[in-house]
Structure 1
Amino acid sequence: MAIDTTVLVIGGGATGAGVARDLALRGCDVALVDRGGLADGTTARSHGLLHSGARYAEADETGAEECIAENRTLRDVAGAAIADTGGLFVQLAGDDPEYFEAKRDACEAIGIPVEVIDGDEARAAVPALAEGVERAMRVPDAVVSPSRLVAANARDAADRGAAVHYDSPVEGIRVDEGEVAGVAVGGALDETVHPDVVVNATGAWAGEVAAMAGATVEMRPTRGLMESVEHSDLGTVLNRCREPGDGDIVVPHEREAVLGTTSVTVDDPDDYERADWERERVREECAAMCPSLSDAAHVREWWGVRPLYEPDEAERGGRGISRGFFLLDHADEGVDGFLSVVGGKLTTYRLMAERTVDTVCERLGVDEPCRTATEPLPGGDDPDALDEFVADIGGPGPSDSDVAGR
C-alpha cells in the first residue's frame, strides 16, 4: 500500500532529524526514512566537538559566526546532550605565533569569547599538557553526544506526528513530468512513498540519492580517523593552534579522550581504506599537545566520512578550513520539489534544518516561524530519558557509545 506525505526527508543523521522535527513543529505532514539506525552515518562517526567557531574564525567569518550562535543555542535547548567542557587552542614551540594572534583577533572581532593565558596557567588548568605549550586561548568549545542529539530530535518529531522509519533504505525515485512521483523504500517500511517535496539530507551519500532522481550533487567525501583512549583527566577540548592538519583535536569524554583526525579523499563513502599511517599520525600529533596520550590504552577507533561539497572544496583548494553548508534546489535540473542539503557541521545542524524548512514551507505556503532555537528538546536534563530515546533508534554510534545508553 502506498504512503502519501507532504514532505519526505531522506537521511536520519542530525540534519535530517532536525529537518523532520522543524517541519513537525510547523505543522507539516512529514516522513523520515534512513537506511540504517538513525545517526548511523557521518553524525555518529564524528569526534563530537561542539565548535565555538574559533577553529574557523580567521578563515571563514560567516561559518564562525554560525558556530558561536548555534553553540549558544544548543546549550539552551539540548540539555544533557551537551557537556560544557570549554576548550583550549594551544601554541607549541615552533608553531607560528602570527597564526595564534590572527585567530585571537578574529575571535574578538566576531564576538567569540577568548582569553589568552600563558603556558604555566594552561598547565595548571590541564596538568597533562606538554611543557612545550607556550600559551593558549580559552574558548567556549563543548562536547556533544550525537546519538542523544539525534534521538531527541527524532522523538520530538514523532511525538508531533512525523512518521519515522529506521532500516528503510531508498531503492529508487520515480520522476514524472519534472516532478517526483514516487520514492521506493525497502527494508522495514517496504512501501512506495508519494511526497510533494523530498529533502535529500544524506550527507556524503547525497550524490547517490540525487542520481536516483536524475539530479546531480557533486560530493567530495573525505575519511577521517578517530581513536578513543583511556584518559580521564583531560577535562577540556584541546585544539592545536596552527593551520588545520592531522591530529590537531582532542575531545574529552568522561573516562576517555577522542583523538582526531585525518582527511583523505575517498571514492566510495561505504568502502575505503583504513590506513595504519593514520593511526600513527593521529597519536603522534595529539601527543605533542598532551604527552600522556602517546601510550594511553586504546579503547576503540572509528572512521567517519565528511559530507564535503565538491564545488566549495575546489574553490578553496586542498584541505579547506571552511565547512559551510549549501541548499540545492534541483528544479533547475528538471526535478521539481527535490532539495539536497549538503556540507556543514554537526554544530550547525539546527541552522541547516531551519534554512531548509524555511524553503520547504515557502514552497508549500506554510506561514509558521521556526521554533527550534527556543523549544527545548525532549529529555532535557534527564540523561536516562535521552538514553531511552537512543535505544529506540538502534543504540548509540561509536563516537559516544561510552556515554550514551551505557
Structure 2
Amino acid sequence: MRSLETEVLVIGGGATGAGIARDLAMRGFRTVVVERDDWASGTTGRYNGLLHSGSRYSVNHLDSARDCIRENRILRRIMPHCIEDTGGYVVATPVDDPAYGDRLMAACRAAGIPIEEVPVSRVLREEPLVNPGIQRALRVPDAPADSFLATLSTIESARQHGARTLNYHAVVELLTSAGRVIGAVCHDRVGNERVTIFADLVINAAGAWAGKVAALVGVHIPLLCSQGTMIATNYRLVNTVITRLRWPAPVDSVLCSHSVSVLGCTDVVINDPDDCAPQPSELRQILAECSQLVPAARSVRHLRAWCGVRPLYRSAPVNGSSGQGLSRAHVILDHAVTDGIEGIISVVGGKWTTHRLMAEQTADAACRKLNTQRPCRTHLEALPGAVGHHHRHGERLAHVETTATQSGLVCECELVERSSLEEAAVSGSVISLDDLRRRTRLGMGSCQGGFCGYRAAGLLHAINRPPSNDARRRVTEFLQGRWKGIAPIARDNQVRQMRLNELLYRQVLALLPGSPDIEKPLQPPATGK
C-alpha cells in the first residue's frame, strides 16, 4: 500500500474536478486529483459539446445566463484551441411561435448576451439543410467545444503547476477521525494496489457520482440524475449551432462537432448514473424534434447514440420523469455546516460552460476552510496548447495533406496520424484504446473503429509491451464500446458497417472469439432496414 500526503484532495477528473485542481495548484496549494476512470470519461465527455451563450437560460434563469456569457468570453480567451467560433442561430420552425423571439431578445439584453435578428434568407444561405419553413432567426454567440481536449489541457496545466494527477484511481473509502474527513483510500486500477491519501481538505467534485462519494461518510446529497441522449451523424448537417426558438425544452438543438453533427438531447430521470443507456423512445424523440430544425436529420446516416448524466441539485421533491424544471446552477456544500462533518466540501450541478467559474468558487471555499486568502488566476492564464486563434474545422486535413504519408495515417475517418497516437500513448496516463480515442478522436468517424482499431492496438502494444492477452482484451473492449453506441440507432449503411467490422475482426483477424455481444447473429433494429 502506498501513502501520500497533500493539502487538498480533489475527487473527480471531469471538467470541474480538473478545473479545481488547476485553480488550487495555481494558488500554490499542494493538490492531488483522482479519477476512477480516465479524464473526461464521465458526464464531461458525454455531453453535446456546446459552449452556451446563455440565451437558452435567459428567460427563466437570468443569473445562469449571466454566468454563461461571462464564462463564454473567458473560455474563448484561455482555451481557443478547444472552441470552434461558429456562432449560433435560434430559429422559429413552422410549429414555433415567432413572437417568443421578442421575449428572448429582451432577456438576453438584460443578461448582457449579444443577440441580433438576422434575415431568414441569410440563415438558409449559410445553412442550406435547415428547415426552409423557418419564420424567424436570431444570432447568438453559441459555439461547439471539445470537452475532451479542454479537460486534458486543464489537467496538463494543473500538472505543470505542481498538482499530482492520478487517473484510474477509484475512491473506495473516505478516512475519518473525530468527526472529520482526513483523506481517502483509492484503488489503483492499473497497479492493482491500495493508495492512501491524507489531506487537510477533501473536495468532492465527482459530478453525477458525488452522491455516491458523499455516502461513504453517511452524507446524503439530494441529486437528481437526468439522462441526456444524443445521436451523432455521419457528416456535418450544419456548420453552426442551430437551436429552437421556444421555451427551453428537451431536444432543441443541432450543432456541428468536428466532422459530425450532434442531435439532442433528451431529459429523462434515472436512478443510477452507472445505469444509463439510450432508449428507443428517446431516439424517436430526437429524430422527430431535430427534423423540425433540419429535415435531413431523420434520413442521414447515424453513426451512434450515447448518453450522459446531468447531476441536478434539488432542494425540494420533483414530480415527473424529467429534470427540465430544475435549475442548472451549481451549489457548493460545506458538509461541516450541512451535515456536521468537517474536512469535506462538495460541488454539484452546473454545466460545462461554467466549469471554470465553479472551480474558482470552490477554490475560494477551500481557501476559507484552510484559513487563507489566495487570488484566482485561471481566467488570466491560457491553457497549454492554446494558440492565437480558435479551432478551425479542416485544420487536420490541411496538416495531413502537407505532412502525412499514407503509412502514417492510422484513422482515415478522423485523420489521426501515427505520431499523434504515439505522443498520447507515451504520456503515461493511457492504458486503453478508448484513452487514445479521447485524446485523438480515434474511431469516432464512419467506421467506428473498424479499420483503425487493430492498427492502434498494434501501435499501443509496441509501445507498452503488455501480455498478448491484454492486447486482445483492449481491442475487444474498444469494439464493444463502439458497438454499444452503434446498435441502438443502426440502420441501412451503418448496419452494413457493423457487419463488415464483425467479419473483419472475427473471421479475418480472429480477434473476437467468444465475445458475447458480437457472437450473436446480427439483427437490424425493428425500425431499420
TM-score of the superposed pair, with normalisation by structure 1: 0.93
Q: Does the 8 Å CA contact 1:214/1:335 hold for their aligned counterparts? A: no
Task: Write the mapping of 1:223-242 to structure 2, written as runs, cut at 5 A.
Answer: 223-232=227-236, 234-242=238-246
Q: Does the 8 Å CA contact 1:45/1:397 hold for their aligned counterparts? A: no
| Matching residue of 1:266 | 270
Which residue identity lines up with residue 351 of structure 1 in the other structure?
Answer: L
Which residue identity lines up with residue 347 of structure 2 in the other structure?
Answer: V
1:395 equivalent to 2:396? Answer no
Pick closer, same or farther for the CA change 1:135–1:399 going to 2, 3 Å: farther
Which residue identity lines up with residue 123 of structure 1 in the other structure?
Answer: L
Q: 1:375-404: CA deviations, max 9, x gaps?
A: 00011129899995697463344996649x
Which residue identity lines up with residue 68 of structure 1 in the other structure?
Answer: I
Pick closer, same or farther for the CA change 1:72–1:400 going to 2, 3 Å: farther
Which residue identity lines up with residue 57 of structure 2 in the other structure?
Answer: Y
Q: Which runs of 5+ in 2 are unaligned?
A: 397-418, 446-451, 453-529
SS in 1 for 2:359: helix
SS in 2 for 1:191: strand
- The partner residue of 1:381 within 371, 383, 387 is 387
C-alpha separation between the residues in 1 aligned to 2:441 and 2:377?
Answer: 27
Shift of 1:78: 0.4
| Matching residue of 1:335 | 341
Pick closer, same or farther for the CA change 1:318–1:256 going to 2, 3 Å: closer
1:114 equivalent to 2:120? Answer no
1:371 equivalent to 2:354? Answer no
Q: 1:155-196: CA deviations, max 9, x gaps?
A: 111111111111110001122211113311012462111111
1:138 equivalent to 2:136? Answer no
Which residue identity lines up with residue 319 of structure 1 in the other structure?
Answer: Q
Pick closer, same or farther for the CA change 1:341–1:178 going to 2, 3 Å: same
Q: Does the 8 Å CA contact 1:244/1:321 hold for their aligned counterparts? A: no
Shift of 1:343: 0.2
Which has the higher Rg, Structure 1 or Structure 2?
A: 2
- The partner residue of 1:204 within 205, 208, 213 is 208
SS in 2 for 1:395: helix
Q: 1:140-162: CA deviations, max 9, x gaps?
A: 00111011010011011111111
Which residue identity lines up with residue 177 of structure 1 in the other structure?
Answer: A
| Matching residue of 2:48 | 47
- The partner residue of 1:325 within 319, 326, 330 is 330
1:217 equivalent to 2:217? Answer no
| Matching residue of 1:168 | 169
Q: Does the 8 Å CA contact 2:183/2:201 hold for their aligned counterparts? A: no
SS in 2 for 1:186: strand
Q: Does the 8 Å CA contact 1:35/1:166 hold for their aligned counterparts? A: yes
Shift of 1:306: 0.5
Pick closer, same or farther for the CA change 1:313–1:300 going to 2, 3 Å: farther
TM-score of the superposed pair, with normalisation by structure 2: 0.72
SS in 1 for 2:118: strand
Fraction of identical pairs, as percent: 39
Which residue identity lines up with residue 68 of structure 2 in the other structure?
Answer: C
Q: Which structure carries more relative contact order (alpha carbon 8 Å, separation 6+)?
A: 1
Which residue identity lines up with residue 38 of structure 1 in the other structure?
Answer: W
C-alpha separation between the residues in 2 aligned to 1:386 and 1:152?
Answer: 15
- The partner residue of 1:353 within 359, 363, 372 is 359
Which residue identity lines up with residue 244 of structure 1 in the other structure?
Answer: P
C-alpha separation between the residues in 1 aligned to 2:197 and 2:145?
Answer: 33
| Matching residue of 2:88 | 87
Task: Write the mapping of 1:171-182 to structure 2, written as runs, cut at 5 A.
Answer: 171-182=172-183
Q: 1:119-152: CA deviations, max 9, x gaps?
A: 2222122111112200111000011101101001
**More deviation in 389-398 or 264-273?**
389-398
Pick closer, same or farther for the CA change 1:2–1:398 going to 2, 3 Å: closer
SS in 2 for 1:349: helix
Shift of 1:301: 1.8
Shift of 1:231: 2.8
Q: Which runs of 5+ in 1 are unaligned?
A: none
Q: Does the 8 Å CA contact 1:179/1:336 hold for their aligned counterparts? A: yes
Shift of 1:242: 1.2
| Matching residue of 2:509 | none
C-alpha separation between the residues in 2 aligned to 1:273 and 1:234?
Answer: 26
Q: 1:88-108: CA deviations, max 9, x gaps?
A: 111012312332221111112
C-alpha separation between the residues in 2 aligned to 1:92 and 1:279?
Answer: 20
Q: Does the 8 Å CA contact 1:66/1:348 hold for their aligned counterparts? A: yes
Which residue identity lines up with residue 323 of structure 1 in the other structure?
Answer: R
User: How many pairs does the alignment contain?
Assistant: 404
Shift of 1:79: 2.2
| Matching residue of 1:253 | 257
Which residue identity lines up with residue 149 of structure 2 in the other structure?
Answer: R
**More deviation in 30-39 or 121-130?**
121-130
C-alpha separation between the residues in 2 aligned to 1:106 and 1:220?
Answer: 28
Shift of 1:4: 0.9
1:30 equivalent to 2:26? Answer no
Q: Does the 8 Å CA contact 1:180/1:336 hold for their aligned counterparts? A: yes
Which portions of structure 1, spanning 4 or more consecutive aligned residues, are displaced by more than 3 angstroms?
A: 312-318, 382-393, 395-403
Shift of 1:315: 10
| Matching residue of 2:288 | 284
C-alpha separation between the residues in 2 aligned to 1:273 and 1:228?
Answer: 15
RMSD of aligned residue pairs (Cα, Å): 2.5
C-alpha separation between the residues in 1 aligned to 2:92 and 2:258?
Answer: 25
